[in-house]
Amino acid sequence: MLEFDHDPETHQYLVSFDGQPVGLIGYTLTDGVADFTHTEVNPETQGQGIAGQLTRYALDDVRERGWKLIPSCPYTRSWVDRHPEYADLLA
């Protein structure tokens, strides 16, 4: 089972499978704008939609916090392009 978490101290959104970390999104935060700089999923778990689920979790959290988004990470940029319901988050 996938478990999602946010670690504001390290500026990371994390995903684990059966208690083992399998992916993360790294970001910087300046004046309420989160710049998603990096998305990573372990090679063994790639191709299973984990990065997309983690991105949705992270962007839902960004929305809840009232932040805006800069999608510097190419994966995040293409994901937002494919999910226009998140375009309102763009800074």
Instruction: Identify the three-state secondary structure at position 37.
Output: strand
Domain count of the chain?
1
Find tokens 């778990």 and name the residue.
Answer: 45
Q: Could you tell me if residue 75 is inside a domain?
A: yes
Model confidence pLDDT, tens digit, residues 23-82: 999 999 999 999 999 999 999 999 999 999 999 999 999 999 999 999 999 999 999 999
Tell me what pLDDT residue 47 has.
94
Number of residues that make up the chain: 91
Domain that holds residue 80: 24-41+50-90
Give the CATH number for residue 59: 3.40.630.30
Task: Please give the Cα distance from 13 to 29 (Å, whole number).
Answer: 13
Find tokens 């962007």 and name the residue.
Answer: 59
Q: Could you tell me if residue 59 is inside a domain?
A: yes
For 62-74, give one letter per residue: b (16+ CB within 10 A) or e: beeeebbbbbebe
Q: Could you tell me if residue 30 is inside a domain?
A: yes
pTM of the predicted protein model: 0.96
